Amino acid sequence: MAADWNELPDEEFRKVFRSWVDENCPPHLRYMRKQRPLFDEVAEWYHALAAKGWLAPTWPQEHGGMGLSPAKHMIYVEEWGRLGCPRIPDHGIGLVGPLLIQYGTQEQKAHYLPRILSGEHVWCQGYSEPNAGSDLASLRTQAVLDGDEFVINGQKIWTTLAHCANWIFVLVRTDKEAKPQRGITVLLADLASPGVRVRPITNLRGEADFCEVFFDNVRVPVKNLVGKVNEGWTVAKSVLGHERIFLGAPTRPEYALGRLERLAEARGAFDDPAFVSRYAKLRLDLYDLGSSFERFAKVLRSGGELGADVSMLKIFTTELYQRITEEMLLVAGEEARFADDLDAGNGQVDAMNLFLDSRAPAIFGGSNEIQKNILAKAVLELPG
Amino acid sequence: MPQAMFDDPDGMLAMLRESAAGFAAQHSGTKSLRDKRASAGDLDKQAWKAMAEAGWTGLLLPEGLGGAGLGMREQAVLSEALGRALIAEPVAMAAVFSGALLANVSVSEERTRLCAGIADSSVIAVPAWQNPSKSSHARPVVATATAGGFALTGEKHFVDAARSATDFLVVADCSEGCLLLSVPAASAGVTINERPGIDGAMIASLTFAGCEVPESLVLARAESADALLESPILHARLALAAELAGIASRALEITIGYTKDRVQFGKPIASFQAIQHRLVDMWSDAEFACAAVVNAVETLDAGDVRAAQLAVLAAKARTGDAAFSICRRALHLHGAMGFTDECDIGLYLKRAINLNATLGQSEALRLQFVDLERAA
């Protein structure tokens, strides 16, 4: 039996985790420019974590995870970010594993969980469709039962890293007559199945993070059903528990502000009172985001559960990230015409790269407008 | 709804909130504000006395000096609650600022008298430390040595509750630096010049014309005014921040209530998305304000002076912006009703404007933050 990490004092755990990660995460993978590297690009780090037993921080130890409490998990994520470790394709660890642990059969757990840890199965998440984005429940990709197989037809889009995955966790419609939320089912599909086609989509940064996934009479055995038929909405919605706090973490604006400072120093912008005034607003917004983040982190540390109100952090941090990168382009002056990085004395600043990157987080994970709709109902209790 | 969330293991803070709510039920803040405005007043003596009886005017003063010996955590909870109820008494200046000024000076009979008096409300001692602006033809107060003490000449601006004060705590320049003097309000040679404050209470400037102050009323000597004022400004700003957070949260609640009640096109206007998103933005701003206050109190408690200064600058800037902008939006969401004097939301806006501009507006505080942080 591995150590019970939750027994360690927070700072002790932080030290143990940090020093091992610092020694074992390959230097050439630190601070990658790519936000979402492909599996093969970071495989050595993935396997190193797996060998150490530290790949799945929140899975129970009996399933090969670390069994971390939310408080310890926060430390794990913080240190990961501070050491500049790359993001690994984590849909298996973060999404499929927890869902199977909660809703899967014994066979499913025994089959899939070890294959996630070994890297044999790389997962992607088939949720959004061309006409089901914010209104996810209106999804139309359908699955019809035919003997002991479901037959899937339809299309998914914005499927992150589908082109390096070999399995997909897919939401399908199994009842067209029921209310939208009542006719959805979760299936596990092998992307090597006949009839699946994956087409990467190049984003504004010139990278292919996400894909379209087409299903043309794709046959999936009934045993790949997760939970019950037509009850997939509940399964799909349960994925994010305490992890919603990470959508609101100050990591991105923090990094971007550091780059802005570097650029501003190199260009003498701190001598310009107009810049300093704008900078001060951004700096204080970041500082105060830290205070608000800490408020929710405290809830987790004391063993409490997060409410819907935590998504205020997601709105704030994504908008702040955008405003900081907009300021970078302002400081760049006419050099904002260039696609490549800016010279900032001792090093380059990827102002344009960050500006473009900052467009995405306000959209994904539930657009900020959707977050506001939820907050209006769930927190302010405003009438429908 | 938004509130500064502190750990409260012994329930002390909850009790303080309850007693503030009980106080507010007996002393209507909005009525008191309107009365003050009608009578050109600057302090509600009845309310102030009751606050002293509750232990609030001397909350931060050590027990040995007649106070309650509590900390900024309790002060923040109290100030937030007073802000919510719009109990617009000069707590931040006449209790917190004055108390912090006196806490740092050496023991004297006068100091003992002032502290005990602040705690039991027999003394209303208000700070008079702000100099006229550089563009003004008025001169700051200078203390010239006399046979038995000092003579004061010059002006001090932005003095709260000057008409109600029994004593002024005057910071004056002198040949060796700077003095803190206790000046009885009725002293010969002191003139009070009042102007109406935006929230209804009068704000004064004081003119000293050869005002004689005996040596026994010199509370402190310092090389510079900063040495005397750093701690009072820090603590008063934090109290103001908490009060502003309370104003912000309450103005939001009032507005949510109004938009739920107000029916147009056959529906409560709170059911419209345009209104809902505005309310969510206001709510988020109020939450950020409360979290900034908590951070400032905890950072102050942790004891690193520079970190505390940064945290307090941030909290005052955040809460000032939040209260002012939430009240502006609140007023708008009340429609034409919001523009009437009868509707309380306008009182919240005016109080927010006043406190936001007290001891530094947000922009100035942010620039101070950046200066301080980048100086390291």
ipTM: 0.95
Is B189:B169 a contact under the CB 8 Å cutoff? no
Q: Within a 13 Å sphere around the CA of B68, how many CA atoms are in the beta-carbon half? A: 20
Chain B contact set for A380 (CB, 8 A): 256, 276, 279-280, 283
Q: Is residue B38 part of a domain?
A: yes
Domain assignment present for residue B277? The answer is: yes
Q: How many whole angstroms separate alpha carbon A212 and alpha carbon A209?
A: 11
B3 in a structural domain: no
User: Would you place residue A239 in the very low, low, confident or very high pLDDT band (cuts 50, 70, 90)?
Assistant: low
Asked whether residue B176 is domain-assigned, the answer is yes
**CATH number of domain containing B368:** 1.20.140.10
Q: What is the pLDDT of residues A329-384, one digit of tens each?
A: 999 999 999 999 999 987 899 999 999 999 999 998 889 999 999 999 999 999 98
Residues B358 and B234 in one domain: yes
DSSP annotation of B201: S
Asked about A243 being catalytic, the answer comes back as yes
Distances (CA, A) of B208 to A125, B173, B177, B202, B219: 75, 13, 19, 19, 18
* Residue B204 and residue B90 share a domain: no
Helix, strand, coil in percent for chain B, rounding step 5:
55, 20, 25
Give the CATH number, domain containing residue B77.
Answer: 1.10.540.10
My answer on whether B174 and B244 are in the same domain is: no
CATH number for the domain including B142?
2.40.110.10
CA distance B239 to B83: 10
- pLDDT tens, B352-373? 999 999 999 999 999 999 999 9
**B163 CA: distance to closest CA in chain A (Å):** 38
- Inter-chain residue contact B369 with A283, CB threshold 8 Å: yes
Report yes or no on B4 lying in a domain: no
For chain B, the domain total comes to: 3
* Both structure tokens of B167: 């004593």
Last residue of a domain, one of B206, B223, B240: B223
Same structural domain, B53 and B115: yes
**Residue whose C-alpha is closest to residue A248's, from A283, A296, A282:** A296
Q: What domain range includes position B288?
A: 226-375
Measured CA to CA, the distance from residue B26 to residue A184 in angstroms comes to: 56
Cβ-based contacts of B281 with chain A (< 8 Å): 372
* Residue A1: pLDDT over 50: no
**Domain-ending residue, one of B61, B93, B120:** B120
Tokens at B1, concatenated: 């709804």
Could you tell me which residues come within 8 angstroms of residue B285 by beta carbon, excluding any fewer than 6 positions away?
B248, B321, B322, B325, B326
Is A292's CB within 8 Å of B288's CB? yes
| Cα gap A298→A306, rounded to integer Å | 10
Q: Are the Cβ atoms of B295 and A316 closer than 8 angstroms?
A: no
Instruction: Tell if the CB–CB gap between A372 and B295 is shorter than 8 Å.
Output: no
Q: Tens digits of per-residue pLDDT, B67-88?
A: 999 999 999 999 999 999 999 9
Instruction: Report CB contact under 8 Å: B279, A376.
Output: yes
Nearest CA in chain B to A374: B280
**Nearest beta carbon to residue B260 from set A277, A287, A383:** A383
Q: How many Å is the maximal CA-CA distance in chain B? A: 79
Instruction: Tell me, yes or no, whether B156 and B66 share the same domain.
Output: no
In a domain, B2, yes or no: no
**What's the mean pLDDT when you consider all of chain B?**
97
Return the DSSP state at B112: H
Q: Are residues B290 and B354 in the same domain?
A: yes
How distant, in Å, are the alpha carbons of A158, A206, A210 from that of A203?
10, 5, 8
Shared domain check, B360 and B254: yes
- B104 lies in the same domain as B63: yes
- Residues in chain A within 8 Å Cβ distance of B259: 382
The reply to whether B152 and B107 lie within a common domain is: no
Same domain, B264 and B349: yes
The closest of A25, A202, A36, A55 to A120, measured between CA atoms, is: A55
Contact B292 A288 (CB under 8 A): yes
Tens of pLDDT along A207-234?
A: 999 999 999 999 999 999 999 999 999 9
Chain A environment of B317 (Cβ under 8 Å): 284
Of the candidates B5, B271, B370, the beta carbon closest to that of A283 is on B370
Structure tokens at B361: 């507006």
Residues of A in contact with B291 (CB under 8 A): 288, 291-292, 294-295
Is residue B7 in a domain?
no
- Of the residues B120, B136, B159, the one at which a domain ends: B120
Q: Chain B partners of A291 at a C-beta cutoff of 8 Å?
A: 288, 291-292, 294-295, 314
Claim to verify: residue B73 and residue B96 sit in the same structural domain: yes
Buried b (16+ CB within 10 A) or exposed e, A22-61: eeebeeebeeeeebbbbbebbeebbebbbeeebbbbbbeb
Domains, in order of start, for chain A:
5-88 (1.10.540.10), 123-232 (2.40.110.10), 244-378 (1.20.140.10)
Same domain? B132 vs B80:
no
B11 sits in the region (left: phi over 0; alpha: psi -120 to 50; else beta) called left
- How does pLDDT run across A159-189, given as a tens digit for each residue? 999 999 999 999 999 999 999 999 999 999 9
Q: What are phi and psi of A182, to 5 degrees?
A: -90, -10
Q: Do the domain assignments include residue B5?
A: no
Residue B91, pLDDT score:
98
Nearest-by-Cβ selection for B276 from A295, A309, A382 = A382
Q: How far is A343 from chain B (nearest CA, A)?
A: 22
The answer to whether the CB of B87 falls within 8 A of the CB of B243 is no
Q: Given the residues A243, A261, A319, A335, select the one marked as catalytic.
A: A243
A375·B295 Cβ contact <8 A: no
